[in-house]
Amino acid sequence: MKGERWAWIGGGIVAGALAALVLQPLVPAPTEAQGPATLRQAAVRGAFSASEQSTIRIFEAAAPSVVQVVQVAQSLAGIEAVGSGSGFVWDSSGHIVTNAHVVGDANIVLVRLVSGETLRANVVGRAPNYDIAVIRLDGARTLPPPAAIGASTTLQVGQATFAIGNPFGLDHTLTTGVISALERRLPTSSGREIANVIQTDAAINPGNSGGPLLDSAGRVIGVNSAIFSPSGAYAGIGFAIPIDTVNRVATELIRSGRVPTPGIGIIAADESVSARLGLEGIIIYGVQPGSAAARSGLRGTDVRRGVLGDVITQVNGQPVRRLADFTNALETAGIGQTVALSVLRNNRPTELRVRVEDVGD
């Protein structure tokens, strides 16, 4: 910043020394010899390049499926918009996938289609643990086509990405980039983390949330959810929830309005406590009565007696260093399955088996 400032000041000094020159017209006034001004003809250009043609096709095919989602609040003054984001048509029944944080706590939102038509939509369900929500259009005369869905298991760092959304309310904006990294973790407002998140340098700004991240075949490979930016604006690092996760979560929301949450019924202590004590694992602060953890004999921390609870160090032989490692292991195992836990109890290793249950609300 200092170098730029001095370069600017230097330019000002030069401009002051040449003030007389600058104040003189750089182009002389037209004379009769020059003739009247005429419009210039546009130069003929050749065909679009192959990459341009591909990008144009991707946008033309995907854009009709992308919508603007507006969260509204009702008051005595009427309906007021309190936030907006993006979404895309999921199926022919009018379901729209977006972010849970775009919908917020609203029961009804407004959806603006590419045609300009604005419709009400009912919230089918939200999954804060995955920052995914499903809404359904109400009274659409003609439904936009569902977006084509890809897969996220075969993605490669370096492949092209295309984001379509409504940054700052500017509808149907296309930005391009590449997959910058894979297997990132994204914290959610619920305190859990989303695994296998896609990192991209395609420009993502406020209003892009909930919109699709596409591959070069025009398929949705992720849902744009967040950016890393100290300033709050685009800084080249955006994150998208992988489509395999979205597919599973959206299907559950449409089916039952909620997504089961795998767990065993424990309350974990803050990870900073483990770090201060030099322990690698998650400390059990509390065990919920009647839970799978209670039935298996897991022990929580006794604050009154100053006794540390069990420390979970492994799940099915895989190390657990953070709470996200633990929750991801339970999701991988699945509800109804039994997992093997390695725990430290009074600094002695202990093996336990616990059944994974649905601990969601």
Active site residues: 101, 131, 209
Q: Identify the CA nearest to 126 among candidates 226, 253, 252, 225.
A: 253
Task: Residue count of the chain, please give it.
Answer: 361
The Cα 287–Cα 298 span in angstroms is 7
CA–CA distance, 312 with 330 (Å, rounded to integer): 13
- Residue spans of beta strands (DSSP E) within the chain: 66-75, 78-89, 95-98, 108-112, 118-127, 132-138, 160-165, 173-187, 193-200, 212-214, 220-227, 238-242, 262-263, 266-268, 282-287, 311-315, 318-319, 338-345, 348-355, 357-358
Rg of the chain taking only CA atoms, in angstroms: 28
Please name which of 354, 357, 198 lies closest in space to residue 263, comparing C-alpha atoms: 357
Return the bridge partners of 73, or none: 80
Q: What is the DSSP string of 8-26?
A: HHHHHHHHHHTHHHHHS-S
Instruction: Report the SS3 class of residue 182.
Output: strand
From residue 62, how far is each of 160, 164, 204, 346 by CA, in Å?
A: 15, 8, 17, 57
Enumerate the H helices of 19-137 as residue ranges.
19-23, 50-62, 100-103
The torsion defined by the Cα of 78, 81, 87 and 88, in degrees rounded to 10, comes to 40
| C-alpha span between 105 and 353 (Å, rounded) | 38
Return d(Cα 91, Cα 327) in angstroms, integer.
30
Written as six digits, the tokens of 351 are 């093996």
